[in-house]
Structure 1
Amino acid sequence: MLLRLYNENPNPRDIRKVVDVLREGGIIIYPTDTVYGLGCDITNPKAVDKVARFKGIKIEKANFSFICSDLSHLSDYTKPISNTVFKLMRKNLPGPFTFILEANNNVPRYFKGKKKTVGIRVPDNNIIRDIIYELGNPILSTSIRDEDEILEYTTDPELIYEKYQDIADLVIDGGHGELVPSTVIDCTNDEITIVREGKGILEY
C-alpha cells in the first residue's frame, strides 16, 4: 500500500493506519529529514528479523538505529549520559543526526549480541515522529539508500514503492527524499567523534 501523508499536517487517521500496520508486525518505508528509511516496531522480533534478512545481515551485527519522537525515550534504552552529550543532543534534535550511545539492558535482547551501543535518531519530520508518538515506542530504522541503484529509487516515493512493495507492507509518500544520510556521532567515549559526515552541521 502507498499512503500519501503531508509533513506540515499529517492526517491523524492515516497515522493510526500506519501504527496498526506496525503493531501487526508490518514493515514500513517512511520519510525522514534525510533519506527514506525502512523499519518496524522494535518490540516485534519477527518484524525485526524480516528487516535484518532484507539487509542480508544478522540482527546482532547490524547498525540499526532507533527512531524516537523526542528525547523522552532516551533513558529507556541507553545508559546515563553526560550533561555535555545531553545538551548536544537537545541542541541538534530534531535534526539529521544519529547519536551512538551505550545501550542498557532494556534494549531488546535480539539486538544485543556483542554490541553494546545503540543509534538514536529524532528526525525533523512530523510524519515519522507522529507515528512513533502514537505507537508509544521507537521504531527500528535502516536506510534504503543503495549506492549501486538508480538515484531516483531512494528519492521518489512512487519508484520506491514499485521496487520495495514486496518487502514493505506500507510505503509512505511524504514527498521526495534526499540522497544524503544523517551525520553519525559517536558519544560512547570521553571524546565526541563524528564517524560519518552526512547532512547537517553539528552545533556545539
Structure 2
Amino acid sequence: MAKYFDVHPDNPQPRVIAKTADEIRAGGLIVYPTDSCFALGCGLGNKEGLDRIRKIRKLSENHHFALVCKDFAQLGQFVHVDNAVFRKIKATTPGSYTFILPALRDVPRRMLHPKKKTVGVRIPDNKVVQALLAELGEPLVTSTLLLPDQEAPMTQGWEIKEELDAVVDVVLDSGDCGETPTTVIDFVDGTPRILRRGSGDLAPFE
C-alpha cells in the first residue's frame, strides 16, 4: 500500500519532504507533482525502480527517461552541453521542458537510449520538486505518469493513490496538477528539434 503525503504547494513542509527523500533513498518509487503534470520518480541508481516504471507504463527499451535536476550545476554533471545550446536552454529554464542531450559517463547505462546514448534532462519550475531535489542531493529519474490505457495524465493525487496503490510506494500530493506533459526538445546535434509539443512555449525553438 502506497504512503500518501499531503504537501503545501508553495511552502512544502520540510518533514514531508524529508520523509519522501528517505523513501527514495530506500529504493522507493514515488509519484510527485511537477510544473507540467504528475510524474513517476526514483533514485538514480535504482534499477528496480526503472523496471517498475517501464512495467507501469508499458514502455519500450527505446523510451527516453529523464533526469530531473535542481539547477544547471547538477544538470552539467550528467549531459554534455556546448555554449550555444546552453544559452538556448538557459533562456527557458526552469520550466516545462525536457531536453534530449548526449549523456556523460555518470548516467547509468540502463537509462540511456540504447542506440543514441542520450538522456532527457529538465529543471522544473515547481517549489515541491525543488525542495525534494535539495533534500535528496541528486537528480530524480523520472517519467510522465501517463498510463497505457489513458489519453491524459491523472490530475488528482487521491485518484492516483487509488489507481496505483499496489505498485508505487509514495504519492506526494500538492493539489490539482496539470495534464499536459513537458515539451520535449532534441538538442543532440546542437539544433533544436521538437519531439513532443507539450506545456512549454514552443516559440523559442521554432
Query: How high is the TM-score relative to the length of structure 2?
Result: 0.90
Structure 2 partner of 1:87: 87
2:177 is the counterpart of 1:190: no
Equivalents in 1 of 2:160, 2:55: separation in Å?
18
Secondary structure of 1:61's match? coil
Q: Identity over aligned residues, as a percent?
A: 35
Query: How many residue pairs end up in the alignment?
Result: 201
Counterpart amino acid of residue 37 in structure 1: A
Change (3 A) 1:146 1:48: closer
2:89 is the counterpart of 1:70: no
- The 5 A counterparts of 1:28-67 are 28-57=30-59, 60-67=61-68
Secondary structure of 2:5's match? strand
Q: Offset of 1:161 from its aligned partner?
A: 0.8
Q: 1:15 aligns with which of 1, 14, 17?
A: 17
Deviations 1:10-30 (A, max 9, x none): 111111100000000000000
Q: Offset of 1:147 from its aligned partner?
A: 7.0
Structure 1 partner of 2:135: 134
Equivalents in 1 of 2:55, 2:151: separation in Å?
22
Structure 1 partner of 2:163: 163
Equivalents in 1 of 2:121, 2:157: separation in Å?
24
- Comparing 137-146 with 45-54, which one deviates more in the overlay? 45-54
Structure 1 partner of 2:174: 174
Gap runs ≥5 in structure 2: none
Contact 2:84 / 2:190 at 8 angstroms: preserved in 1?
Answer: no
Q: Offset of 1:148 from its aligned partner?
A: 3.8
Equivalents in 1 of 2:184, 2:193: separation in Å?
9
Equivalents in 1 of 2:84, 2:203: separation in Å?
12
Equivalents in 2 of 1:103, 1:28: separation in Å?
24
Equivalents in 2 of 1:67, 1:25: separation in Å?
17
Query: How high is the TM-score relative to the length of structure 1?
Result: 0.91
Equivalents in 2 of 1:13, 1:55: separation in Å?
30
Contact 2:42 / 2:50 at 8 angstroms: preserved in 1?
Answer: yes
Q: Offset of 1:57 from its aligned partner?
A: 3.4
Equivalents in 2 of 1:114, 1:172: separation in Å?
34
- Comparing 158-167 with 67-76, which one deviates more in the overlay? 67-76
Contact 1:92 / 1:202 at 8 angstroms: preserved in 2?
Answer: no
Counterpart amino acid of residue 163 in structure 1: E
Secondary structure of 2:42's match? strand
Counterpart amino acid of residue 117 in structure 1: T
